[in-house]
Chains A and B, each alone.
Chain A
Amino acid sequence: MSTNMTIHLRYWRQSGPTAKGYFEDRTLSTVNEHMSFLEMLDVLNEELQLEGKDPVEFDYDCREGICGSCNLVINGQAHGPKKGTACCQLHMRNYSDGDHITIEPPRASAFPVIKDLVVDRSAFDRIIEAGGYVSVKTGSAQEANARPIPKKDADLAFDYAACIGCGACVAACPNASASLFTSAKISHLSHLPQGDVERNNRVVAMVEQMEEEGFGDCSNFGECEAVCPKEISIAAIADMRRDYARAVIQG
């Protein structure tokens, strides 16, 4: 049996995109260490609803760290304190009785708040639409070894393909840059023969879209890599720049 913990929460409330937001404080006394962070928020919402108040909106879907829906900034860190862990996979055993936890939405002009802790991440979709795909009809999956790909490239593409598009990189970046997301989405395709064909157009189009959405410049702070639940390396960003330069030079 685990004992109950008391947790002092402070979370962002904002009734709509144009409403003025504010922090609300509330203390939960029935948190236990087996709960995930989101389950703790469920408990909060249950309490709020029993009192006839509006529940706190937050994004989630899979709750198993693979969909990229959850994206809370917890005590100033995207997805909270655990390395390589989405906040839905963060457990309350990482906290102790009496802790204070501040929860904020990702803050970036390209990610406007929809309500409370939910932000609009459709800017990411538009970056993908700009070029993050392969145009050829691929049909059904072919036999895995029909087209040999060097292990090194396959591994690299796989590392980058791990991106779940949660936006923690933007949330944590001091400049609110989307470079890690964009570069991972570029590089997981460009290292494979299927993606190589449209390599030049893709990098230019996606870089342009990223800027148009209002994300900031990258200063190589590397904070994105530190918060990424999939631990994608900023080597992806270096890759994107090399690709971009190549595309422009080749014309």
Chain B
Amino acid sequence: MPTIIKALQSQVGRKLMTGITGIALMLFLVVHLAGNYAIFASAEAFNIYTKKLESLGILLYIAEAGLLFFVLYHSYLGISIWLGKRKARPSGYEVYKSKGGASRQNLASRSMILSGITILVFLVVHIWSFKFGETEMIMSADGEPMRDLRQLVIDSFTTWYIALGYIVVLTLIMLHLFHGAWSAFTSLGVTNKNKTHAFKLGAYVFAIVLMLGFIFIPVYIFVTGGTGSLIAY
């Protein structure tokens, strides 16, 4: 039997890991989305939420390191699978056409590498602007100083190109998940002939609901100019 390390480098092992890291990132997105909605809870809720996160200290660092590892590992696998195509088929077909039917070749599955790399670039910008972005320090109701991230979010999304950029990237994440959220379970060997349809449908529903959830915030802030009644003051 191969060692675990060797097994993870095999074709099947790599695919298992694409699935595991992909599902972990999907779960993270769900948690991230829930956190975002604190912006609608009360005037201070969003800033208190972010402050609580930051005060986790070492725990937060561990979680962040874990996430970074998952993103990098997932990207590495995705890119190397894509590069491997060339080696396995050095000269392509003059004519190539999908047969349809059971095939899962579609815009989503064929553009995993493009949507993926866009997400990677976006992540750098996203973390740069929100995690390390400059904010005002304000006083909370109980006299504690805290970063006014809520204002940063509102300022960002009232700027048209930032709002638009987010919406475009979120749509690409949805596209990534149209294929990915089904594919990952096939990679883990969870799907079978009878369950495949349910998983395919589930992937579409999950991706659409998740993205509508994310997109609602920049759209709402942009449309209302940051003064909408849902955002409590």
Which A positions have Cβ atoms within 8 angstroms of B? Answer: 23, 73, 75-78, 81, 83, 102, 104, 107-110, 172, 174-177, 179, 200, 204, 207-208, 210-211, 214-223, 225-227, 231, 233-235, 237-245, 247-248, 251
Contacts and interface: CB of A to CB of B under 8 A. Distances in A.
A218 B4 contact: no
B98 A223 contact: yes
Query: Which interface class (under 10, 10 to 19, 20 to 34, 35 or more) fits B?
Result: 35 or more
B103 A83 contact: no
A248 B6 CA distance: 10
Majority-rule SS of B interface residues: loop
A66 B214 CA distance: 52
A216 B81 CA distance: 8
Interface string B99-131: 111111100011010000000000000000000
B150 interface: no
B20 to A, nearest CB: 10
A108 B12 contact: no
A149 B93 CA distance: 44
The dominant DSSP class at the A interface is mixed
A75 B87 CA distance: 23
In the A-B complex, the 5 residue pairs with the closest CB atoms:
A242-B189, A216-B88, A222-B104, A76-B97, A226-B103
B103 A241 contact: no
A251 B112 CA distance: 34
A231 B87 CA distance: 27
B105 A221 contact: yes
Contacts of B4: 248
Contact of B81 (A175, A239, A244, A247): A175
B112 A219 contact: yes
Interface of B: 1-2, 4, 7, 10-16, 81, 84-85, 87-105, 109-110, 112, 179, 182-183, 186-193, 196
A219 B97 contact: no
Contacts of A226: 98-103
A81 B57 CA distance: 60
A186 to B, nearest CB: 11
A76 B105 CA distance: 14
10 contacts: A75-B95, A76-B95, A107-B92, A176-B85, A210-B11, A217-B81, A234-B186, A235-B196, A238-B188, A244-B13
A107 B93 contact: yes
Given A107-B93, A223-B99, A242-B189, A175 B85 contact: yes
B93 A244 contact: no
A58 B96 CA distance: 19
A217 B105 contact: no
Given A204-B1, A216-B89, A221-B109, A235 B191 contact: yes
A248 B7 contact: yes
Given A220-B183, A241-B15, A225 B89 contact: no
